[in-house]
Amino acid sequence: MEDLIIKLEEWGAILRKHHNDMDNELLELYLDMAGYSGILQSKIDRLEEKMIRVKSFTTH
């Protein structure tokens, strides 16, 4: 997941560099992708925390 976020950040840097040459649809696509990756990362983090709590609860 972190690889996806890094790649999106790289794409974002490229898009920002060429923002005058691209259309709004492409910019919206990037922003949507970045938003979804943030949501996915948040869900993954919460699931990992939950798994750690369950694992520590079952081992005590």
Structural domain that includes position 25? 2-59
d(CA 34, CA 56): 33
Helix extents (H) in 1-60: 2-17, 24-59
CA distances from 13 to 6, 18, 34 (A): 11, 9, 12
Number of C-beta neighbours around residue 19 at 10 A: 11
Q: Phi and psi of 54, rounded to 5°?
A: -65, -45
pLDDT in tens, 6-53: 877 887 777 777 766 667 777 777 778 878 878 888 888 899 999 988
Q: What is the reported pLDDT for 1?
A: 61
Instruction: Look at residue 2 and tell me whether its pLDDT is greater than 70.
Output: yes
Number of structural domains in the chain? 1
pLDDT in tens, 34-44: 788 788 888 88
